[in-house]
Amino acid sequence: MAEVKRVERPLSPHLQIYRPQLTSITSILTRITGNGLIVGVMLAVWWLFAAAVSPEYFAVANAVATSWFGDLVFTCSAWAVWYHYLSGLRHLYFDAGHGLEIATAEKLGWGIIAGSFLFTALTILIV
């Protein structure tokens, strides 16, 4: 029987030879923003809960929510809401069978990133 020469290949692409694509990065960011929104919701719920408990407890929660940390959490949460929303619209578009070409998918990815920052800035200016 002839001897078969096996080719040694990696099981999966390694980061040294695999360049992350915009579509994979935006997909990962969608998952991260979805989970990251929990932090903003927890701060808002804590603030509301403190308002229902006592004025002293509300003063503590309000001090945290209105501090630089609270501003950072709520600003990042606003960006995450817009990013997650726009990404969801993109996935609905993909599910309809549109925009699946690589060039179109990358344009939509850049549109989501730019749109999320634009809508976050508008939200901050309006609110």
Structural domain contains residue 6: no
Number of domains in the chain: 1
Structural domain contains residue 8: no
Structural domain contains residue 109: yes
> Domain containing 40 — which CATH number?
1.20.1300.10
Residue 16's CB is within 10 A of a number of other CB atoms, namely: 6
DSSP classification of residue 5? P
Domain boundaries, position 91: 22-126
Closest CA to 58 of 66, 69, 47: 47
Structural domain contains residue 114: yes
Residue type, 110: W
User: Which residue in the block uniquely carries the two structure tokens 């969608």?
Assistant: 30
Structural domain contains residue 74: yes
Sign of the Cα torsion 53, 54, 60, 63 reads positive
Structural domain contains residue 10: no
User: Which residue in the block uniquely carries the two structure tokens 């599910």?
Assistant: 95
Contact 39, 77 (CB under 8 A): yes
In the chain, helix, strand, coil percent, each to 5? 75, 0, 25
Structural domain contains residue 115: yes
Q: What is the pLDDT along the chain (127 residues), one digit of tens a residue?
A: 667 777 776 666 666 677 788 999 999 999 999 999 999 999 999 999 999 999 999 999 999 999 999 999 999 999 999 999 999 999 999 999 999 999 999 999 999 999 999 999 999 999 8
Structural domain contains residue 9: no
